[in-house]
Protein backbone atom coordinates (compact mmCIF):
# COMPACT_ATOMS: atom_id res chain seq x y z
CA UNK A 1 0.00 0.00 0.00
CA UNK A 2 1.54 3.25 -1.12
CA UNK A 3 1.96 6.04 1.37
CA UNK A 4 -0.47 8.85 0.70
CA UNK A 5 0.01 12.57 1.14
CA UNK A 6 0.01 13.94 4.66
CA UNK A 7 -3.18 16.04 4.52
CA UNK A 8 -2.74 17.56 7.97
CA UNK A 9 0.79 18.68 7.09
CA UNK A 10 -0.45 20.44 3.93
CA UNK A 11 -3.26 22.14 5.83
CA UNK A 12 -0.84 23.20 8.53
CA UNK A 13 1.64 24.61 5.99
CA UNK A 14 -0.97 26.64 4.14
CA UNK A 15 -2.48 27.92 7.39
CA UNK A 16 0.96 28.96 8.66
CA UNK A 17 1.64 30.68 5.37
CA UNK A 18 -1.65 32.58 5.50
CA UNK A 19 -1.33 33.53 9.16
CA UNK A 20 2.30 34.60 9.03
CA UNK A 21 1.84 36.68 5.87
CA UNK A 22 -1.23 38.38 7.33
CA UNK A 23 0.73 39.25 10.48
CA UNK A 24 3.77 40.40 8.53
CA UNK A 25 1.62 42.57 6.26
CA UNK A 26 -0.11 44.25 9.22
CA UNK A 27 3.30 45.02 10.76
CA UNK A 28 4.65 46.33 7.42
CA UNK A 29 1.84 48.44 5.96
CA UNK A 30 4.29 50.46 3.85
CA UNK A 31 6.27 47.57 2.44
CA UNK A 32 7.08 47.76 -1.23
CA UNK A 33 5.88 45.14 -3.64
CA UNK A 34 9.44 43.85 -3.82
CA UNK A 35 9.66 43.53 -0.03
CA UNK A 36 6.34 41.71 0.11
CA UNK A 37 7.48 39.41 -2.64
CA UNK A 38 10.72 38.62 -0.79
CA UNK A 39 8.84 37.74 2.40
CA UNK A 40 6.36 35.61 0.53
CA UNK A 41 9.09 33.80 -1.39
CA UNK A 42 11.00 32.96 1.80
CA UNK A 43 7.88 31.45 3.37
CA UNK A 44 6.92 29.66 0.19
CA UNK A 45 10.41 28.17 -0.11
CA UNK A 46 10.14 26.68 3.38
CA UNK A 47 6.64 25.33 2.78
CA UNK A 48 7.68 24.12 -0.66
CA UNK A 49 10.51 22.02 0.80
CA UNK A 50 8.13 20.29 3.20
CA UNK A 51 5.60 19.71 0.42
CA UNK A 52 8.26 18.41 -1.94
CA UNK A 53 9.50 16.04 0.75
CA UNK A 54 5.98 14.74 1.34
CA UNK A 55 5.34 14.35 -2.39
CA UNK A 56 8.63 12.52 -2.93
CA UNK A 57 7.92 10.10 -0.12
CA UNK A 58 4.42 9.49 -1.42
CA UNK A 59 5.49 8.89 -5.00
CA UNK A 60 8.34 6.54 -4.17
CA UNK A 61 5.62 4.89 -2.14
CA UNK A 62 6.70 1.41 -1.37
CA UNK A 63 9.09 0.41 1.32
CA UNK A 64 11.59 -2.09 0.13
CA UNK A 65 9.59 -4.93 1.68
CA UNK A 66 6.67 -3.94 -0.50
CA UNK A 67 8.84 -3.70 -3.61
CA UNK A 68 10.49 -6.99 -2.75
CA UNK A 69 7.22 -8.83 -3.20
CA UNK A 70 7.39 -7.89 -6.86
CA UNK A 71 11.12 -8.20 -7.37
CA UNK A 72 13.89 -8.82 -4.87
CA UNK A 73 16.80 -6.45 -5.44
CA UNK A 74 19.95 -8.34 -6.28
CA UNK A 75 23.65 -7.63 -5.92
CA UNK A 76 25.08 -5.96 -9.05
CA UNK A 77 28.39 -7.77 -8.42
CA UNK A 78 27.30 -11.38 -7.93
CA UNK A 79 23.50 -11.49 -8.36
CA UNK A 80 22.72 -12.62 -4.80
CA UNK A 81 19.45 -11.26 -3.34
CA UNK A 82 20.28 -8.38 -1.02
CA UNK A 83 19.51 -8.11 2.67
CA UNK A 84 17.65 -4.96 3.58
CA UNK A 85 19.32 -2.74 6.12
CA UNK A 86 18.08 0.33 7.89
CA UNK A 87 16.95 3.24 5.81
CA UNK A 88 19.56 5.92 5.31
CA UNK A 89 18.43 9.53 5.30
CA UNK A 90 19.62 11.59 2.36
CA UNK A 91 19.69 15.36 2.59
CA UNK A 92 19.10 17.33 -0.58
CA UNK A 93 18.77 21.02 -1.34
CA UNK A 94 15.73 22.32 -3.19
CA UNK A 95 15.73 25.18 -5.73
CA UNK A 96 14.60 27.44 -2.90
CA UNK A 97 17.71 26.54 -0.90
CA UNK A 98 15.74 24.57 1.70
CA UNK A 99 17.01 21.28 3.10
CA UNK A 100 15.00 18.21 2.31
CA UNK A 101 15.52 14.84 3.99
CA UNK A 102 14.45 11.62 2.32
CA UNK A 103 14.68 8.12 3.71
CA UNK A 104 15.44 5.24 1.42
CA UNK A 105 16.17 1.58 1.88
CA UNK A 106 19.73 0.37 1.78
CA UNK A 107 20.73 -3.17 0.83
CA UNK A 108 23.79 -5.25 1.55
CA UNK A 109 24.88 -8.38 -0.29
CA UNK A 110 25.27 -11.30 2.14
CA UNK A 111 27.83 -12.93 -0.19
CA UNK A 112 30.26 -10.22 -1.19
CA UNK A 113 29.32 -7.36 1.11
CA UNK A 114 28.49 -4.85 -1.63
CA UNK A 115 25.97 -2.27 -0.56
CA UNK A 116 23.61 -0.25 -2.67
CA UNK A 117 20.53 1.88 -2.76
CA UNK A 118 18.17 0.11 -5.12
CA UNK A 119 17.01 2.23 -8.06
CA UNK A 120 13.53 3.65 -7.75
ZN1 LIG B 1 27.32 -9.71 -4.03
Tens digit of each residue's pLDDT (9 = 90 or more) over 62-92: 555 555 555 667 788 888 888 877 676 777 7
Residues whose beta carbons lie less than 5 angstroms from ion ligand 1: 75, 77-78, 80, 109, 111-112, 114
| CB-based contact 88:106 (threshold 8 Å) | yes
Q: Please tell me the distance between residue 105's alpha carbon and the centre of ligand 1 in angstroms.
A: 17
Q: Please tell me the distance between residue 120's alpha carbon and the centre of ligand 1 in angstroms.
A: 20
> Which SS3 state, helix, strand or coil, does residue 36 take?
helix
Paired strand residues for 104: 88
Distance CA 37, CA 19 (A): 16
Q: What is the mean pLDDT of residues 18-32?
A: 96
Paired strand residues for 16: none
| CB-based contact 114:108 (threshold 8 Å) | yes
Locate all alpha helices (DSSP H) within 28-102, ordered by sequence: 33-60, 64-70
Amino acid sequence: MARTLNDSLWRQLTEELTTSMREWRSLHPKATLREIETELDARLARARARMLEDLALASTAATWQEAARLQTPTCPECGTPLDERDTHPRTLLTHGGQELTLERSYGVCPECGSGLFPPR
